[in-house]
């Protein structure tokens, strides 16, 4: 740990997760800021599998919209991952580049996608962070854990007990985030697995074999689910424009096989102004205008709380 202490100065705590604590740090030699993700090692179990998985994936994923892993420092009782420092998360600065970074991911990778894992720096660049729960399809594991995505952004197929999900779960999460960018609050805010399903059914309608072939075969499916018909999302999100609504409906498909892929979403007409090389930068985007409006309605205490969760690994 002495080598670690001499190279980096540990500053304030940025966040704390299931298996790690993240601090803001400073490179004593370069004078630059970093994020120090400290993982305490169990004397019997050793390095957590989530840490091994994250390090392996971060070494493979190199992209301008994915947070950079600079170094891994291993000591007797602690593992420290040194990341580039990001100033905040999407809850404070929602930017359309998040979809660009989703498109940059290897399509064989599934990860934990939520606003707190979309980090943004002082230059307005948004990057994906926290790959501790990501899993590459090439890793020989029979089943995935269904504890993958924060409850409010968890896809219905995962909630119903699917063990064979794909990147479509990220697209559902992206839809939840998109809706939240317009309203300033989560679209589905359940308190438990069953309550989350109920929240989704109330808005998207209760699935059946006609609307979702095979749904009754999921482990958590119940024949006595309360019956709801789909609601008009425009009523729930009155300030949404037609193209954004069409995109949202494509992302929030109950059936995973009918959801838009990241590539399809990127080529949706709603993103035309961002895909156009002639776009004049500096002009407020349609999404940023909505973010500005919703951010004014949020309390300062909520904003501060979400800011502190920017590195909630």
What pLDDT is stored for residue 207 in this prediction?
Answer: 98
Can you give the residue range of the structural domain that contains 93? 88-132+147-276
Beta-ladder partners of 109? 136
- Return the axis-axis angle of helices 97-104 and 168-183, rounded to nearest 10°: 170
What pLDDT is stored for residue 206 in this prediction?
Answer: 98
Mean per-residue pLDDT for 197-208? 98
Neighbours of 274 (CB within 10 A): 14
**Looking at the structure, do residues 54 and 117 belong to the same domain, yes or no?**
no
Given the residues 89, 95, 112, 130, the one annotated as active site = 112
φ/ψ of 62, rounded to 5, equals: -125, 110
- Percentage helix, strand, coil, to 5, in the chain? 35, 15, 45
**Looking at the structure, do residues 214 and 188 belong to the same domain, yes or no?**
yes
Does residue 47 lie in a domain region?
Answer: yes
Out of 36-45, 158-167, 213-222, which region has the weakest mean confidence (pLDDT)? 36-45
What pLDDT is stored for residue 73 in this prediction?
Answer: 86
User: What would the pLDDT profile of 20-56 be if each residue is shown by its tens digit?
Assistant: 788 899 999 999 999 888 887 875 666 666 777 777 7
**Looking at the structure, do residues 32 and 100 belong to the same domain, yes or no?**
no
Active site residue 112: yes
Does residue 294 lie in a domain region?
Answer: no
Beta-ladder partners of 9? 26
Does residue 80 lie in a domain region?
Answer: yes
Instruction: Give, as one character, the DSSP assignment of residue 185.
Output: S
d(CA 141, CA 200): 29
Asked whether 251 and 265 are in contact (CB, 8 A), the reply is: yes
**Looking at the structure, do residues 92 and 80 belong to the same domain, yes or no?**
no
**Looking at the structure, do residues 55 and 188 belong to the same domain, yes or no?**
no
User: What would the pLDDT profile of 79-127 be if each residue is shown by its tens digit?
Assistant: 888 888 887 765 554 444 344 444 444 433 444 556 666 777 777 677 7
Does residue 299 lie in a domain region?
Answer: no
**Looking at the structure, do residues 69 and 100 belong to the same domain, yes or no?**
no
**Looking at the structure, do residues 201 and 271 belong to the same domain, yes or no?**
yes
Q: What pTM value is reported for the model?
A: 0.61
Does residue 96 lie in a domain region?
Answer: yes
Number of domains in the chain: 2
Look over the chain and give the mean of its residue pLDDT values, rounded to a whole number. 74
Give yes or no for residue 233 having a pLDDT over 90: yes
Give yes or no for residue 294 having a pLDDT over 60: no
127 is in an annotated binding site: no
What pLDDT is stored for residue 90 in this prediction?
Answer: 58
What pLDDT is stored for residue 69 in this prediction?
Answer: 84
CATH of residue 205's domain is 1.10.510.10
Going by C-alpha positions, the residue among 8, 15, 54, 58 that lies closest to residue 33 is: 8
Instruction: Give me the percent of the chain exceeding a pLDDT of 70.
Output: 65
CATH of residue 18's domain is 3.30.200.20
**Looking at the structure, do residues 35 and 171 belong to the same domain, yes or no?**
no
**Looking at the structure, do residues 37 and 171 belong to the same domain, yes or no?**
no
Does residue 244 lie in a domain region?
Answer: yes
d(CA 11, CA 99): 31
**Looking at the structure, do residues 260 and 205 belong to the same domain, yes or no?**
yes
Asked whether 120 and 86 are in contact (CB, 8 A), the reply is: yes
Beta-ladder partners of 285? none
Does residue 52 lie in a domain region?
Answer: yes
Does residue 229 lie in a domain region?
Answer: yes
**Looking at the structure, do residues 56 and 112 belong to the same domain, yes or no?**
no
Going by C-alpha positions, the residue among 254, 256, 258, 148 that lies closest to residue 201 is: 254
Out of 7-11, 165-169, 242-246, which region has the weakest mean confidence (pLDDT)? 165-169
**Looking at the structure, do residues 187 and 223 belong to the same domain, yes or no?**
yes
């Amino acid at each position: 740990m002495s080598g670690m202490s001499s190279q980096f100065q540990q500053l304030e705590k940025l966040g704390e997760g299931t298996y790690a604590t993240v601090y803001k740090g400073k490179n004593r030699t370069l004078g630059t800021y970093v994020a120090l993700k400290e993982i305490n090692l169990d004397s019997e179990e050793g390095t957590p599998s989530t840490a091994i998985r994250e390090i392996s994936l971060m070494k493979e994923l190199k992209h301008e919209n994915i947070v950079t892993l600079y170094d891994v420092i291993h000591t007797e009782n602690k593992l420290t991952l040194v990341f580039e420092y990001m100033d905040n998360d999407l809850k404070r600065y929602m930017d359309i580049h998040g979809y660009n970074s989703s498109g940059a991911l290897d399509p064989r990778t599934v990860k934990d996608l939520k606003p707190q894992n979309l980090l943004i720096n002082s230059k307005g660049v948004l990057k994906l962070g926290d790959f501790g729960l990501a899993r590459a399809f090439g890793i020989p594991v029979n089943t995935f854990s269904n504890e993958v995505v924060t409850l409010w952004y968890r896809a219905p197929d995962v909630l119903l007990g699917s063990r064979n999900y794909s990147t479509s779960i990220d697209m559902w999460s992206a839809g939840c985030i998109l809706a939240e960018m317009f309203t300033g609050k989560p679209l589905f805010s359940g308190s438990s697995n069953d309550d989350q399903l109920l929240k989704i059914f109330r808005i998207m309608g209760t699935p059946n074999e006609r609307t979702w072939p095979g749904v009754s075969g999921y482990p958590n499916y119940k024949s006595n689910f309360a019956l709801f018909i789909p609601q008009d999302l425009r009523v729930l999100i009155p300030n949404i424009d037609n193209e954004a609504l069409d995109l949202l409906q494509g992302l929030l498909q109950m059936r995973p096989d009918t959801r838009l892929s990241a590539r399809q979403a990127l080529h949706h007409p709603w993103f035309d102004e961002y895909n156009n090389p002639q776009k004049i930068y500096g002009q407020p985007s349609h999404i940023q205008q909505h973010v500005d409006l919703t951010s004014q309605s949020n309390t300062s205490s909520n904003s501060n709380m979400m800011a502190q969760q920017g590195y909630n690994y």
